[in-house]
Structure 1
Amino acid sequence: MGEGGKPSLYTIPAHRAFADALAAGLIRRFGGEAMGLARGLVLLPNNRAKRALTDAFVRASGGGLLLPRLVAIGDPSLDEAAGAAIDPADALEPVPPAVVPMQRRMILARLVSEERMRAGQAVDAAEAVRLAGELARTLDQLLVEEVDPRKLRELELTQELSDHWQKALSLFGTVLDRWPEELARLKRIDLANRRSRLLRRLADQWRQASPSGFVCAAGITDGAPAVAGLMRCVSELPQGMVVLADLALEMDEHEWLALGPHDPDPVTGLRRRSIETHPQFHLKLLLERMSVNRGEFTLWREGGGHDATIARGRAIANALAPAEFTGKWTTLDADQRRLAGIVAAELATPAEEAQAIALALREVLETEGKTAALVTPDRALARRVAAHLDRWEIEIDDTAGRPLSILPSGTLLTALAEAAVQRFAPLALLALLKHPLVRFGDARTAWLDGARSLDRVLRGPRPAAGLAGIDVHLADAPDREAKRRAEAAIWWPEARAVLAPIEALFAGGAQPLPLMVAALRETAQALCGDALWSGTAGRAAAELLAELEAQAGSGPALVEPESLAPLLKTLMDEVAVRPPQGGHPRLAIYGLIEARLQTADLMILGGLNEGIWPGQPAPDPWLAPRIRSELGLPGLERRVGISAHDLAGALGAPAALLTRARRDAKSPAIASRFWLRLQALAGERFDRAVMLEGWTRALDDPGEHVPETQPAPSPPAEQRPRRIAVTDVDRLKADPYAFYAKRILRLMPLDPVDADPSAAWRGSAVHEVLEMWAREDQCDPAKLHARALTMLADAHPLMQALWQPRLMEAIDWIVEETARHVADGRTLVAVEQDGKCEIAGVELTGKFDRVDRLPAGGLAIIDYKTGKPPSAAAVMEGYSLQLGLLGLIAERGGFADAKGRADAFEYWSLSRKNGKFGYIESPVDPEGKRNRIVTADFTTVAARNFTEAVREWLTGDAPFTAKLHPEYAPYADYDQLMRRDEWYGRERG
């Protein structure tokens, strides 16, 4: 209690370090006696403030000190324990225990699910848990503001609301009607209600009997009625005092009154809108509820402060004034608009912004004893800055933490749930098996070898679903992966045995959530061992799963497997994992809550874009803004005002740096309203960190860009192959470098995992069907249709939906065409047969699709095409001579069952032409018409072209030039290897 019976009320301005000033003042007042401080109690907003004040006491004492008891009571998010200091175990009238938060979440999720089901709007368990979280937050606000939920029934606004809000309000009210019954059954109360009761009981006790030591409520901004009542009580205690951070004592009275909250108009009954976005609004609300006046506060005298920032504080207050009072800016003197000690850096991208912040933090370390801190609500920016600093081996703590969902233990659990629900589709399966926590330790190397072998085998279209589908795929993998298939087949049973139990459970459909969580936990344990639960993230994951498994029975009765992964992610997103202390002693990264009461020589305020600082107000899915206003709940924009107060407090440091990026990952970004106000107020005096911006750009500037030249390797003759397939001849001539990469470097392109069915895959499938039809069914017209349908039965769903109708029409055409040829005297000689012959000192190999014997005795070389056949123009230019080269091998006796003169060359295409699927086209003509090669000369032309290519690149010394004839080199398998984009278009400049 102050002099004359007045309450003891103080404020510490932003230009003085709050924690240091508070510690110095308490030591001066109560540190004279040996136990003077130890008998005291300091009420603080959160645990971070407790640590800040502890550090400040250590700095102020310079040695050993018995500290007062520090209790966190005022965290706005209600996630701090009230503490044993205000909830003694031997209380005469104990406050009932609070319901366990996870149990409450599960019960509310069940109630939401049941009520939505009755309304004909069923939701899955994941959505029910998400909505339950939003409902719990809204319910907490009602309890904190001490608004009776029954007041919802008294509102007469339903006719003014849209249909959506009426339904949401009705559902909300119904759930709230059932919730008290659940609490009564559990003999529990809500945590927010319990905190209010404890605080009110404590205030009553102190009014009856003052504590023996001092009591100080410091830095609390929570305007809840119970908190305000306790603070009023503290201010009236004989040794009590309330100390607020940066209360605007110098603000014009008209501005102060304009902030609100306002009384209803006596005539209309309407309230004037409060300015909740102002940085002082929440403090004014707290003062209103404490029933004290701003004029009753005095400046806390202790603490040195930064005199140079006093004028800056006035300028910042002017910059953040309510909109109706910003007109005074034009009348302010230059000194009143100067933001001395504040510089701004505007970067191009978030990556550049992080780079600039890391450079600024690194520069601080050059001055002995100097400190710096980054304050930002953007956790992605914080992670980037920490990564940049790691480049200089500087470890920095992000005290706001990171969500469990993005840390290894969290991603493992979601990866396992997603893989199981996708029935172990290749991408999800491999992501799980290669997770860094799986088989962590000595066994990981052997495990990764097996997983990589499986990766190679699974490349291409997706196999059949489930672990059994992987079994079949390993048995039927292409021959080119025989080695990898054998390795994977040896390793796969170990992985399969671990995953089989959860697959069996998920195959049973909807299950009780505790059963699913237990299966997830057991499988994760089998995959990772104790590594999954180690470290801060592992412990957080273990606690979350244990709590969820224990309380899941209170939630929805049955949960679909598809809901487990999003349900877990929703819960893990809300778990902040903070690192163990041990980062650099002079650098720190803070979130907005963690930054309160903190200070440093340089405060860097990062991410000053709209939607980040201030953040986009999260909408309330349950109560319309008009309903919230009528109930007296905080407006959604109140967080904007609190963010503004956090900004003003951070700008009280000796030096401050503001940063923003002009665009985010998707689009241009809009500067924060705070940035724009400061810029507008300062005008030309809004100093830019020009040197820092330049350093940021220069750090990653590669200097002059010298593009790579067109590659043209020329290996010695002994390294050039003496064997070539007919399918590689075009590659050799059109893109020699691609041939060099494939045949000499032996670099083979890999198909993507879980790839869409490509043209090559469709061609291989059709070739296999037609081969089996010829070999096993002797081209029986009645059996081809059935074979094609059998092949498609296990095909990719996309292929079944889009390609099957076209393929079946083309299959019918092949049956008709084969029957017509048989009637004309043509007979099938052989299908899918390899052959070879030597030409110009090089062995030419090839495999035909089909060869028929013509009535005159000659051979017809047939190639099946699922797409469009090569053009006649390409053949005339010396490309697409595959049929001619196969005919050449046949004429030279290179095929065991197909020898003789080649008299016909045909492409049987299954693509569409003239309104139907299936047609025959030939690259030659008996008389050379239509700009085609004469049929009788085709093998001779093919031999001549082949000989020229061989003498130039295989037996000669010509370089393997990249994209020599790009018009005939359509494939891009080796474009990245040859760095095509760097030189293409300049190679002949």
Structure 2
Amino acid sequence: MKRGALYTIAPHAPFLPTLAKAVLSGRLFPDWPRDTPFWLSDITIILPTQRARQALAEAFAAEGAGLLPDLRTFGGEPGEEEPFLPPVDAPALPPAISPLTRRLVLSRLIARWAETEGGREVMATPPNAAEILGLADSLGSLADDLIVEGVPYSVLRDLPMADLAENWRKTLAFLDIALTFWPDWLAERGLVDAATRRNARLDRQAATVGVLYGDRPVIAAGSTGSIPATARLMAAVAGLPRGALVLPGLDTSIGPEGHERLITPEAAPHGHPQYGLMRLLRALGATVGAVTELGQPEIHPRTRLVRHALALPEATAGWPQARAALAPEIERAVAGLTVIAARGADEEARAIAVLARDALDEGRSVGIISPDQTLSRRIAAELLRFEVVVDDAAGVPLFQSEAGRLARLALAVAESDFEPVALMALLSHRGVTLGLGRQGLARISGRLERVLLRGELPPIGLAGLRRGLAARLEGKRLDAETGAAIAGLLDRLEAALGPLCALLQARRWSAGDLASALRQTLAALREPAPGEAEADLPGLPEFEGWAKALAEGVDPGPVLPAEAPHAMLLALMAGVSVPEPGASNHRVYLWGQLEARLQSPDVMILAGLNEDIWPRAADPGPWLSRGMRLAAGLEPPERRQGLAAHDFEMALGNAEAVLSFSERLGAAPALPSRLIQRLEGFLGPVWAKTLRERGAVWLDRARALDAISGDPVPATRPQPRPAAALRPRRLSVTEIERLIRSPYDIHARHVLALKRLPPLGEVPDARERGALVHEIFARFVNEGGDFSDPRAVETLLSLAEAAFSRLDSIGERRDIWLFRFRRAAEQFVAFERARESEVENRSAEVDGDWLLPSGFRLVGRADRLDRLRDGRTAILDFKTGALPQAGEMTAFLAPQLPLEAAMAAAGAFAGHAPSPPGDLRYLKIGLGPEALVEEHFRTPKGMTLGEAAEEAQHRLEAHVEALLMSDRLPLVAGVLPRTGQSYAGDYDHLSRLAEWSAAGGEEGE
């Protein structure tokens, strides 16, 4: 290596501006003639990314350069350090296979292997389609690793099999077949792997740089040479008469012993930030002493701090001495350094957005770097509240774009057989028109939702929806015109989703089949109304390209199991992104990790610094263990952690750097990155607390965005006072408890005429089960069932089977309910047989109507009225939910049974002569071993049932007189709330119960 070919720029010096100044000042290539206006344009500079190329051009312009150097790039994506090819006379390289095609071809191999005896032994369970596609990607990554490192596939055959477990032996046997087949398959089609093509292009340029550039200056800057072919090109550039390498952040204080230590595998140096650079120097045949610092000669305390913190594990024993040596400059080292420890990812994104907005107000630029694309999108969304559009070249994954979302919704409807929630989500998507236009479709789908999808659920599927529609037309619950419009919409849906539904009925299909069906479905869903143009849909061109590549590509992929189609779709769309519409209008940038070593914004924010995110987990993949990779001559997975640590070290060279992480990710606790842990560990608890206190300022401001300013003012309880004439004069016996506990519910139901809208796609629950149990027991009695009949239980079960058969939509739960009903039927029959000598006759579901002297009418339906042999009446109330507590009964806060007793005594039930109460009893029908539990109504001590009925009547009349017959009192909510109630009332949200009751609202009035 010739003298003067190797340079570096320390982390604390802005990389690109420093490089520009070194070129312009003549520090690089001092012997290059500068006496013509075109001297600078004869210099070539090769950089890792297009962003760096643009930023370097701006740096030259800022220094007053009129003409720019010849700026080229090693490639535009992280890890793809590939320059543009020169115009040399050489045969064209074969085209590279697309990642999608490779994924499909390799997945075919893996799917076949999974069905062999060896594959079944290696895999714990048969893989689904998404898992097979994921394994195909990891197999492709292994092939790339072998190509990049220059390791022939045959090396895997020479691994010491005796030392391997049986599962690894079988895996290697498959790899031998797969990696032998793969090159032959590519050669037959005139294709190569992208990694092979990149290596060939880099090696071709390395062989021609002498001819291309001669004695003109050439600089390769910003690369660590992590790809061997890139390192070979860098070596060729350094060997030119005027060739130079400018390395990012090489530690020039490392001596020969430290250099040797950092490339010795036994020292486990792969996660060290300097490992890649030291390895590159050894490949170049150079030492650290041959590298010249282009930036500031003095090492900044911040840089020394970070290098001590990220030293090899064995060096941590010397931290106390290193900390003491740095102590005089520690304040300078941590000046401008902030740590944000957010409670969750949403708070982290909001705090970063607030910090970036503050920096923009001060005219400063902001660079945000995160390997977590989801967090990046959150940050961009949070910045939109400040009308700040972020420059993010990563775009949106196709799976999450508008077009991808529409494809997922269509797949969900077909997979769920037109389940109501999925169906309405699809019809609500702005891209769906179905030939009706958005307004026309919204009008008809709204009627479909209210008429068919809420309340009583029809059988599932389009056939069920059509039967439900016919029943409503027959029952005159729907006019013919609306019915025809809904029927037409169902026909259009059937036609549009037909290809997907037909596909999902098959047990196995290929990726090409899925893409073709989705493409046809989306085209039908987006059909415009007559005379209208098709509306734009973000991501549609990318979706069309993806679907066409799958449906019409070289290989449609293997026939895969049909389970988990959504996961399969996600795996198939992996790697396809949709550009964000619009351009940035502010100096806020979202960058990948590679930019951390090159860009120098005023504020550098490293986001998502959680363990296993930055750096990623050292996962060797499913095909080779870590030891097997090393034995094959491949770099261990910790190598990626070393690159992440180097990017971290370079980013912290910025004067103002912010490190952020989340203490929880989703529902699980999360750890800060080991990079933050080591930094704080070296600093010690005092300075670590100081850095977090700086970050707490931004967290407080982020939380304040959605906080209420000033002291909270409790909401007042609504006091509706409608005129007496508007208050109801008729209530059911079950509504009297509402009148006592929350008169507001009566106001909302009968004065405002508001009725709870059933939830969309509500699954039958305990309420429906209770209604069916009531129906079964009532039918048995009213149809003359005999409890003494030995087949009484079987008769009840046949009635139950007919009743529960209507619940097609809940499948297994219906079957469980029916199975457990047998126990309830047995205990119910036993209960009735024990009362046989007391009961003269039984009546079920008896309607009652009682006009009180005040003119108020009480109506109701008794579950059971039994005439006892002594002339009194027994009233039974069936419950499938909780029974009233004893205190509620004695306080007459559960007045239904005593009021029904008063109605029976007054002869208010049809077909029943007046009679006093002889028994008031609850029967709780459960699902456990005690399927039937009896509970007698409890009266106050010393009070008979007849007296309790009279007391309930007096209390009813008092409430009616005070609340309904005059407007003297308001109808307020929550007067006597039920203790421990776990569910919300129908009108709690309307009365804002949570607002004023949580703030200490009045109770017990």
Q: TM-score scaled to structure 2, two decimals?
A: 0.84
1:978 aligned to which of 993, 996, 1003: 993
Decide whether aligned partners of structure 1 residues 883 and 656 sit closer, same or farther in structure 2, where only a CA change above 3 A counts: closer
Aligned partner of 1:143 among 143, 147, 151: 147
> Does the C-alpha gap of structure 1 residues 564 and 655 become closer, same or farther in structure 2, counting only changes over 3 Å?
same
Contact 2:389-2:584 at 8 Å conserved across structures? yes
- In 2, the alpha carbon distance for the partners of 1:198 and 1:283 equals 23
Match of 1:803 in 2: 817
Q: Does 1:447 align with 2:444?
A: no
Contact kept, 8 Å, 1:536 with 1:578, in 2: the verdict is no
Change (3 A) 1:451 1:984: farther
| Residue 171 of structure 1: how far off its partner (Å) | 3.1
Give the aligned residue type for 1:367.
E
Alignment of 1:710-729 (within 5 A): 711=717, 713-718=719-724, 719-729=726-736
In 2, Cα distance between equivalents of 1:839 and 1:47:
89
* Structure 2 residue 761 is the aligned partner of structure 1 residue 761: no
Partner of 1:398: 392
Cα displacement string for residues 622-645 of structure 1 (whole angstroms, at most 9, x for unaligned residues): 110101112222221222221221
Aligned partner of residue 361 in structure 2, secondary structure: coil
**8 A contact 1:45–1:74 mirrored in 2:** yes
Matched, 1:43 2:46: yes
Structure 1 residues 195, 871: CA separation in 2 closer, same or farther (over 3 Å shift)?
closer
Distance 1:30 1:894 in 2: 115
Q: Name which of structure 1's ranges 763-772 and 357-366 shifts more when overlaid on structure 2.
A: 763-772
Change in 2 beyond 3 A, CA 1:709/1:417: closer
| Alignment-derived partner of residue 318 in structure 1 | 308
Kept in 2: contact 1:731–1:969 (CA 8 A): no
**Deviation, structure 1 residue 827:** 4.8
Per-residue deviation, 1:390: 2.1
Correspondence for 2:29: none
User: Hey, what does 2:379 align to over in structure 1?
Assistant: 385
Structure 2 counterpart of 1:193, which letter?
T
Q: In the alignment, does 2:409 pair up with 1:407?
A: no
Change beyond 3 A, Cα 1:505–1:965: same
Alignment of 1:681-692 (within 5 A): 681-683=682-684, 688=691, 690=693
In 2, the alpha carbon distance for the partners of 1:126 and 1:808 equals 42
Deviation at 1:146, TM superposition (A): 0.5
> Structure 1 residues 806 and 696, CA, compared in 2 at 3 Å: closer, same or farther?
closer
> Do structure 1's residue 70 and structure 2's residue 72 form an aligned pair?
yes
Q: Which moved more, 1:631-640 or 1:309-318?
A: 309-318
Q: What is the one-letter code of the residue matched to 1:319?
A: A
User: What residue in structure 2 maps to residue 357 of structure 1?
Assistant: 352
Q: Match of 2:955?
A: 945
Q: CA deviation at 1:145?
A: 0.2
> Does the CA-based 8 Å contact 1:371-1:587 persist in structure 2?
yes
Closer/same/farther in 2, CA of residues 516 and 570 from structure 1, 3 Å limit: closer
Question: Does the 8 Å CA contact 2:717/2:973 hold for their aligned counterparts?
Answer: yes
Distance 1:205 1:453 in 2: 72
Q: Please give the alpha-carbon distance, in whole angstroms, between the structure 1 residues aligned to 2:518 and 2:797.
A: 45
Q: Which amino acid aligns with 1:317?
A: R
CA separation of 1:41/1:806 partners in 2, compared to 1, >3 Å: closer, same or farther?
same
8 Å CA contact 2:817–2:927 kept in 1: the answer is no
In structure 2, what is the Cα distance between the partners aligned to 1:792 and 1:966? 34
**Per the alignment, do residues 251 and 731 of structure 1 end up closer, same or farther by CA in structure 2, a change over 3 Å counting?**
same
Range that drifts further, 629-638 or 857-866: 857-866
CA–CA distance in structure 1, aligned partners of residues 468 and 339 of structure 2: 56
Residues 473 and 479 in structure 2, CA contact (< 8 A), matched pair in contact too: no
Give the whole-Å Cα distance in 2 for the aligned partners of 1:22 and 1:210: 20
Which stretch shifts more, 101-110 or 766-775?
766-775
Letter in 1 for 2:300: I
1:329 is displaced (CA, Å) by: 0.7
CA distance in 1, matches of 2:371, 2:746: 53
Question: Which 5+ residue runs of structure 2 have no aligned equivalent?
Answer: 27-31
Partner SS, residue 365 of structure 1? helix
Aligned ranges 1:273-288 → 2 under 5 Å: 273-288=267-282
* Aligned counterpart in structure 2 of residue 735 of structure 1, from 739, 742, 756: 742
Question: Residue 966 of structure 1: which of 977, 988, 996 is its match?
Answer: 977
> Do 2:434 and 2:441's aligned partners in 1 also have CA atoms closer than 8 Å?
no
- CA offset at residue 235 of structure 1? 1.6
Q: C-alpha separation between the residues in 2 aligned to 1:689 and 1:921?
A: 60
| Residue aligned with 2:563, SS | helix
- Are residues 1:637 and 2:638 paired? yes
Write the distance in 2 (CA, Å) between the matches of 1:934 and 1:689: 70
Matched with 1:542 is 544
* Cα separation, partners in 2 of 1:916 and 1:696, compared to 1, 3 Å: closer
**1:339 correspondence with 2:333:** yes
Q: Judging changes above 3 Å, is the alpha-carbon distance between structure 1 residues 914 and 45 closer, same or farther for their aligned structure 2 residues? A: closer
Give 2:802's match in structure 1, choosing from 790, 794, 808: 790
Quick one: which amino acid aligns to residue 109 of structure 1?
S
What do the CA deviations read for 1:186-239 (whole angstroms, capped 9, x no partner)?
232211112112222222233566569654322122322222111111122234
Displacement of 1:681 after TM fit? 4.2
Shift of 1:744: 4.4
Selected match of 2:855 from 821, 841, 850: 841
Q: Secondary structure at the match of 1:657?
A: strand
Q: Is the 8 A contact 1:725 1:845 kept in 2?
A: yes
1:219 aligned to 2:209?
A: no
* Worse overlay, 665-674 or 404-413: 665-674
* Amino acid across the alignment from 1:470: L
2:497 is aligned, of 481, 491, 499, to 499
Q: Is the 8 A contact 2:731 2:859 kept in 1?
A: yes
1:517 match: 515
CA distance in 2, matches of 1:838, 1:33: 112
Q: Which moved more, 1:608-617 or 1:438-447?
A: 438-447
Tell me which moved more, 591-600 or 338-347: 338-347
Residue pairs, 1:418-457, within 5 angstroms: 418-439=412-433, 443-455=437-449, 457=452
1:10 alignment partner, SS class = strand
Please say if residues 827 and 853 of structure 1, whose CA atoms lie closer than 8 Å, have aligned partners that are also in contact: yes
Q: For the Cα contact (< 8 Å) 1:372–1:602, is it kept in 2?
A: yes
Deviation readout 1:895-942 (Å, 9 max, x if unpaired): 555564465566573626996645776538xxx9x9686454454333
1:845 aligned counterpart, secondary structure? strand
1:569 and 2:570 correspond: yes
Q: What TM-score results when the alignment is normalised by the length of structure 1?
A: 0.86
Q: Note if 1:250 corresponds to 2:253.
A: yes
- Once the two structures are TM-superposed, the CA of residue 336 in structure 1 deviates from its matched residue by 5.0
Q: Percent identity, please.
A: 30
The DSSP-based 3-state class of the residue aligned with 2:338 is strand
Aligned to 1:265: none
Q: Which moved more, 1:291-300 or 1:444-453?
A: 444-453
Query: What is the 5 A alignment of 1:84-123?
Result: 85-86=85-86, 91-118=89-116, 119=118, 120=120, 121=123, 122-123=126-127
Is 2:226 the counterpart of 1:228? no
Q: What amino acid maps onto 1:729 in structure 2?
A: I
Aligned-pair CA distance for 1:602: 1.9
Pick the aligned partner of 1:470 from 465, 468, 486. 465
The 1-side partners of 2:165 and 2:997 are apart by: 55
For residue 267 of structure 1, what is the aligned residue in structure 2? none
8 Å contact kept, 2:220–2:237 = yes
Equivalent residue letter for 2:289:
G
**Residues 520 and 799 (structure 1 numbering): CA distance in 2 closer, same or farther, change over 3 Å?**
same
Closer, same or farther in 2 for the Cα pair 1:712/1:225, shift >3 Å?
closer
Q: CA deviation at 1:144?
A: 0.2
The structure-2 alpha-carbon separation of the partners of 1:481 and 1:317, relative to structure 1 and needing over 3 Å to count, comes to farther
2: CA distance between counterparts of 1:149 and 1:274? Answer: 26
Aligned residues: 961
Q: What RMSD, in angstroms, separates the aligned Cα atoms of the two structures? A: 4.2
Write the distance in 2 (CA, Å) between the matches of 1:250 and 1:869: 79
